[in-house]
Structure 1
Amino acid sequence: MSEQPAPRPLVEARDIVKRYGPTTALRDGRLTVLPGESHALVGRNGAGKSTLVSILTGLQAADEGTVRFDGEPAPPLTDRDAWRRRVACVYQKPTVVPELTVAENLFINRQPLRRGLIAWRTLRAEAADLLAAWDVRVDPGARTADLRVEDRQLVEIARALSFGARFIILDEPTAQLDKREIERLFGRMRALQDSGVTFLFISHHLQEVYEVCQTVTVLRDARWITTAPVTDLPRRALVEAMAGESVEDSADRHRTTPTPGDTPVLLAVRGLTSPAYDGIDLTVREGEVVGLAGISGSGKTELAETLAGLRTPTAGTATVGGTPLPFGDVRAALDTGVGWVPRDRHEQGLVPAMTVGDNATLSVLDRLGRFGFVGGERRRAVAAELIDRLDIHTEGPGQPVSDLSGGNAQKVVMARALASDPRLLVLINPTAGVDVKSKESLLSRMDSARDDGTAVLVVSDELDDLRRCDRVLVLFHGRITAEHPAGWHDHELIASIEGVDHHG
């Protein structure tokens, strides 16, 4: 008997390259999705997943490479209707209009008309028929804002199917769902697959890949790494493909000397709880660097911002050197001995209209003069010292901070955090968006703070930042689920971050 020919791919992307100025966001994007399968696309932040999705959905064109749907070239970007007939993406954040009904959302901008007016009875009937055809059990007259998240997603899927699309991209669809809702969503996905719908499933929760997908493609460092049947790729191999490191190759680690157990505890957190995290207990000793890792939505950033005075928890306590930490008051946290680098230097870290010197000394104005008057000479001297200490490449304290490169601007934010000689330094994504040289300079400042006896808490998605830590705590769904001492292997930490047991 002759072998059956391989089915024609429903979607095929080959040799995709996408550049943004000097940055190459995707240098070798590849994807082959067969009809009727659920195909997982996985990779760490920055791997190129979002760029590939934007090209697959016609939001932007690739600089090089080809995209084909069912053997035919992708339509021109300007032909939005042609794209809607081929593909749709359901994002984490809903694209439905919450104040409209389900029926109105299903047929928005294409409502049935009668004598120039919307035919409401026909609209509701067509909506009911569409929902019934795909077994989506939602009231067409319900206000969309009142639906559960999973039902809103199913409405978006039904809307996409009504255009004729049979290829649906689900981008982190379970991020806001609990366990029971996830199981229901997966049940609907399987039923839709049986009806001829094909899914591209993007998730940081690798366990879900094994539950609902048949094939997985891994991207890393803007390149295609592998595509394989899920059953042929054990979890450990999948994590190693994402990390780019095998157990055998990862013996050489940046090691730190463990902080002695009798070193005084500087930060003590007990039972800290908020909508983003629950029951957090942790300590950081003098001269210790503790990392916080986790996927987006794990609660790590909200926890760090609570300790920096930006947020108020619903329960729990934190002390710095035995002094209760005041919540929801950045100035009071600063007075307690907390310095911090925010997650976004543009939105939270810098005042662009001010100079380098002004920005660097904002946290210590009370030390630069008396009775509310700031001595200009004193400010310039302190700013010059900080510029020298952090090797900030600038014409001087009087240069506008908006003139600086990203790396030097981030150094100004770090300088301000260190200016108050903090006892606790909270760093949130301290090396985000900076060049390699600036990154090393910023991390060496972290090492210097540790040597000075400062307690450091660093939140980062960058493994290189976390490698400098004495230990790394992993948050998953708002709880600390793992602790890794210095010397961890990349695949072990990534497995914890993604919520999988890499021994499986």
Structure 2
Amino acid sequence: MSTPLVEARGIVKRYGPTTALADGQLTVLPGESHALVGRNGAGKSTLVNILTGLQPADEGEVRFDGEPAPALADRDAWRRKVACVYQKPTVVPELTVAENLFINRQPLQRGFISWRKLRTEAADLLATWDVHVDPEARTADLKVEDRQMVEIARALSFGARFIVLDEPTAQLDNREIERLFTRMRALQDSGVTFLFISHHLQEVYEVCQTVTVLRDARWITTAPVADLPRGALVEAMAGESVTEQAERQQTAPAAGEAPVLLDVRGLTSPSYTKIDLSVRRGEVVGLAGISGSGKIELAETMAGLHTPTAGTALIDGAPLPFGDVRAALDAGVGCVPRDRHGQGLVFGMTIGDNATMSVLDRLGRFGFVGSDRRRGLATELIDRLDIHAEGPDQPVSDLSGGNAQKVVMARALASDPRLLVLINPTAGVDVKSKESLLARVDSAREDGTAVLVVSDELDDLRRCDRVLVLFHGRVVAEHPAGWRDHELIASIEGVDHG
């Protein structure tokens, strides 16, 4: 057996009274893709911070190629060992690809940056690792998958051959994911080793050879992916049997002949064309499609983020205001946006502030907010959403991904909306948090709320009474509850409609 490229043993990390990692273990062999999975709060991020030298372990050791990890202050030595490509970009969006690749180490000529040499070296680096991106392109203009490859190339240029991918597929559609996996396999053939972190377990089976499970801040198991059935993997993550999972996914009875709450006719914009759809009270309607299908823009239009060029939308018979989020909120629309980091949360504020900011006008008069009423509502929402927190005054930045997403959901529900728009509501959250968030969909249905769910996750769409599929901006198929995965995927990928 070859010497592990990376080995972590007996890792313990405490933050005050909180033990973030009680027994972290990881052994990654050269040239493999190794999955690290576990629910939010299991200790994955803490272990990654220690593996990348961002934080020291209180106990235990990390070794690279059999040698002890560099001193924490020796950043150059760490960069030669390991790099992490995070869900949130670490590139500077306004700089070019070449400038990002060699930031703070630009080639100099007579004391000045040699722009010609910079572009040449960037082109050579990208070609070496088969990354097809224009070195002079502005990084902000890149697709997510290309930005990720630029970050990987930058890491490889330091000499690192161990790359941590933290939720790399969270913002990619199926085709982009497959392209990323193809690139990963090619890089593996070139001697690059990956630690792959994802909540999408199917991806673990597609791209990884080995999987390590953390639960409750402890190592649970490491096994070849081929030897660990999906049920056993989920059970290792959850700590309990998941035989009831299929039953939980059964869809509730359809809304039947309940009154139509949302009625959309002929809605058109640069992203979609002549959309007709209706959602009844107590009905959950899904929108599916590949990236660029128009599904997200259509949902965002319902939430007041865009103004269509033609068509109408009525909510309870009254015109739905376009291009005005506040007016849409007043009209009875609650929204969980697609990106909790950029659109969903204000990280400098508390859980209570974030959960109640959309209903401050209800918590006081003449521009003054009653602190007791705000705190009471926030506490109620924390309990209702089962947000694991110390209380409403805790900074939202302290929360795990699953609990942070619950805060976004809490704010959407705080206004008691008539129409609830959910865009990728479970992206980047663990199995338990996903189930908790989807249970809110069932509660909304029971309350008579109309729900519009946009998601790339099939499990999110199973809760729907029916799913509309968009392809190139048009509705091309409708699948009632009980659809089979291959049927829906065929519609999404454009297989069954030319």
Match of 1:110 among 76, 100, 105: 105
Match of 2:212 among 193, 196, 217: 217
- 2:158 matches 1:160: no
Distance in 1 separating the partners of 2:180 and 2:253: 45
2:67 is matched by which residue type in structure 1? E
Match of 1:233 among 214, 228, 243: 228
Distance in 2 separating the partners of 1:388 and 1:39: 40
Distance in 1 separating the partners of 2:377 and 2:51: 45
Contact 1:359 1:416 (C-alpha < 8 Å) held by counterparts: yes
Match of 1:327 among 322, 325, 329: 322
Counterpart of 1:77? 72
Post-superposition shift, 1:383?
A: 6.2
Contact 1:390 1:411 (C-alpha < 8 Å) held by counterparts: no
Counterpart of 1:34? 29
Counterpart of 1:190? 185
Equivalences, count: 455
2:55 is matched by which residue type in structure 1? Q
Query: What are the equivalent positions in structure 2 for 1:63-142 lying under 5 Å apart?
Result: 63-98=58-93, 100=95, 102-118=97-113, 123=118, 126-127=121-122, 130-131=125-126, 133-136=128-131
Structure 2: runs of 5+ lacking an equivalent: 384-390, 397-402, 493-498
Distance in 2 separating the partners of 1:70 and 1:160: 18
Post-superposition shift, 1:171?
A: 3.0
Match of 2:47 among 49, 52, 65: 52
Q: Identity rate of aligned residues, in percent?
A: 70
1:417 is matched by which residue type in structure 2? S
Distance in 1 separating the partners of 2:274 and 2:12: 45
Post-superposition shift, 1:168?
A: 1.5
Post-superposition shift, 1:389?
A: 12
Post-superposition shift, 1:417?
A: 1.6
- 2:361 matches 1:362: yes
1:51 is matched by which residue type in structure 2? T
Post-superposition shift, 1:9?
A: 0.9
Rate the CA distance shift 1:304–1:138 in 2: closer, same or farther, 3 A.
closer
Post-superposition shift, 1:58?
A: 1.5
Rate the CA distance shift 1:133–1:236 in 2: closer, same or farther, 3 A.
same
Contact 2:336 2:409 (C-alpha < 8 Å) held by counterparts: no
Distance in 1 separating the partners of 2:81 and 2:191: 13
Distance in 2 separating the partners of 1:45 and 1:137: 34
2:158 is matched by which residue type in structure 1? F
- 2:264 matches 1:266: no
More deviation, 68-77/176-185: 176-185
Q: CA offsets per residue over residues 123-155 of structure 1, 9 Å max, x none?
A: 556555545554556665666566665554444
Contact 2:267 2:275 (C-alpha < 8 Å) held by counterparts: yes
Counterpart of 2:194? 199
Distance in 1 separating the partners of 2:79 and 2:378: 55
The structure having more radius of gyration, on CA atoms, is 1
Contact 2:255 2:283 (C-alpha < 8 Å) held by counterparts: no
Counterpart of 1:171? 166
Secondary structure (helix, strand or coil) at the match of 1:159 reads helix
Contact 1:38 1:198 (C-alpha < 8 Å) held by counterparts: yes
Report the TM-score when normalising by structure 1: 0.63
1:79 is matched by which residue type in structure 2? D
Secondary structure (helix, strand or coil) at the match of 2:415 reads helix
Secondary structure (helix, strand or coil) at the match of 1:165 reads coil
Structure 1: runs of 5+ lacking an equivalent: 1-5, 394-400, 487-491, 500-504
Distance in 2 separating the partners of 1:484 and 1:26: 44
Distance in 2 separating the partners of 1:313 and 1:325: 12
Post-superposition shift, 1:88?
A: 1.2
Counterpart of 1:398? none
Post-superposition shift, 1:83?
A: 0.5
